Chains A and B, each alone.
Chain A
Amino acid sequence: MSKPKLAVYWAASCGGCDIAILDIEEKILDVADFFDVVFWPCAFDFKYDDVRRMADKEITLTLFNGSIRNTENYEIAKLLREKSVVLCAFGSCASEGCIPGLANLHDRQSIFEYVYKDSPSVDNEQDVVPQSRTPVEEGVLTIPEMWDTVHTLGQVVDVDYMIPGCPPQSDQIIAVVSTIIDILKNGKELPPKGSILGATDKSCCDECSRKRDVKKIKKFVRPFEIIPDPDICLMEQGIICMGPATRAGCGAKCVSAGVPCRGCYGKTSNVRDQGAKMATAIASVIDSIDPDEIQAIVDSIPDLIGTCYRFSLPDSMLRRVQV
């Protein structure tokens, strides 16, 4: 009997998810032993045409990392959906949009203006900006067209499971991969569609070992402005920590290291909009009933969307900033 086939793809992502998969150390040998890797641009030399030639549903499992922000991402997302039995949104980019999703604060034109013209380190006298179509003598050369808005994988194709995290922690990847191998090997039933794999449904605070008491904040500070007490809740010290609005599963690694949670594991299942939930939580810890003082405290937060939606702007209710 032939082995089940595995594909891994990166769309708009940093490559960290692929590294995270390789970071499962000797367990990668189990993966290679059980699966036949048929497509993994980061690690093997396969071409898109190799996937196009496959029969529908020929790939057993596809781990798709990266968000969808250009025609190439979209085309391959559709292709892999067609060819895969199980399509898994792997990592925060595919699940919630992640850091590339912050491009939704701008649009394509303003991003190009900055990146190719206005950025201080750029010298571009001829105003050369990427074009999706370039006529040459032999015909027209095309490159994928970038969009104004970054989308999550689930917004453009049907997704079976989500593995959150930026990147998903290696112990969680090991757990997920071992479970999937066990399920496929022994003919067990797959988890219900839409399940979140490799995380729990509690908040990050549940895994945090810091002491929690009453939160009353007169001024919000950024992590570099104070040396935080190692044992007390960071929120109580005025540092905005996304823990209350973030799913647990990472083992509260950032907070244990004195860095506030930034929210990469996404929202819990009973929340529709991670950033809005966090904004509400931020308001609840303000210690004042004087409107002017409240305003001053709120003004001490420099970038509310960048803080609350750092990993989830394309997944938010409003999807993007109106520009």
Chain B
Amino acid sequence: MSFEPKIIGFLCNWCSYTGADLAGTARMKYPANLRAIRVMCSGRIEAGFILDAFRNGADAVLICGCHIGDCHYSEGNHKCLRRLPVIKKLVEQFGIDPERVRLEWVSASEGDRFRKIVTEYTEQIRKLGPLTLRDLDFEPPPEVEHDEVKPKEEVCHV
């Protein structure tokens, strides 16, 4: 069976989620690999959200917010813009390909753009392969039997 990536999508309520909704109501087709999570603003996304997604089995995270200048809260997406390089740097240092985190601006009218982004990103992650993380939970090592070491007969006692 071919690898179906799990992509977590954080979509801002005002632009991108509505944009995704538009793609849906217009019956545009895009891969079902994206699991959309609606947030009030892309400025709400913290580094912890991305790490948590990876910990829980996501292969990639797509963050979508309003275009710069269009934020419902005027500057929320600026926060997201500043956080992304930090998040990417952190993810890369954790040994995870930074391509697995992506930020795109999608407005409420850009249903087709949303479709294109999701389709293209799913293919990109499919090529990259699944994300496997080691030692997420402690596994007790197998019990080791200690061999008895027999001292030589002529031991020097002090």
Q: Which residues of A contact B (CB under 8 A)?
A: 71, 74, 136-142, 145, 147-149, 151, 155-156, 272-273, 275-277, 279-280, 282-284, 286, 288-289, 291, 294-295, 298, 301, 303-305, 308, 316-323
Contacts and interface: CB of A to CB of B under 8 A. Distances in A.
Given A74-B141, A317-B52, A305 B94 contact: yes
Contacts of B81: 289, 291, 294
Interface string B65-106: 000100000000011011101110110011110000000000
A298 B51 contact: no
A145 B46 CA distance: 38
B46 to A, nearest CB: 4
B150 A283 contact: no
A283 B86 contact: yes
A280 B51 contact: no
B95 to A, nearest CB: 3
Interface of B: 46-48, 51-52, 54-55, 68, 78-79, 81-83, 85-87, 89-90, 93-96, 133-138, 140-141, 144, 146-152
B90 A305 contact: yes
Contact of A138 (B83, B90, B93, B152): B152
B147 to A, nearest CB: 4
Nearest to A271: B48
Given A284-B82, A322-B94, A71 B55 contact: no
Contact of B52 (A139, A145, A272, A279): A272
A318 B55 contact: yes
Contact of A276 (B47, B79, B148, B149): B47
A318 B149 contact: no
A106 B137 CA distance: 17
Given A74-B141, A142-B147, A320 B90 contact: no
A304 B90 contact: yes
A138 B151 contact: yes
Contact of B95 (A71, A294, A321): A321
Nearest to A150: B135
Contact of A279 (B47, B55, B68, B148): B47
Contacts of A147: 141
Given A273-B48, A277-B46, A323 B95 contact: yes
A304 B93 contact: yes
Contact of B90 (A142, A276, A295, A322): A276
Contacts of B51: 273, 276, 316-318
A280 B48 contact: yes
Contacts of A304: 86, 89-90, 93
Contacts of B136: 318-319
Contacts of A301: 89
B148 A283 contact: no
A318 B52 CA distance: 8
Contacts of A317: 48, 51-52, 54-55
B149 A139 contact: yes
Nearest to B141: A71
B82 A283 contact: yes
B58 to A, nearest CB: 12
Contact of B144 (A71, A137, A291, A298): A71
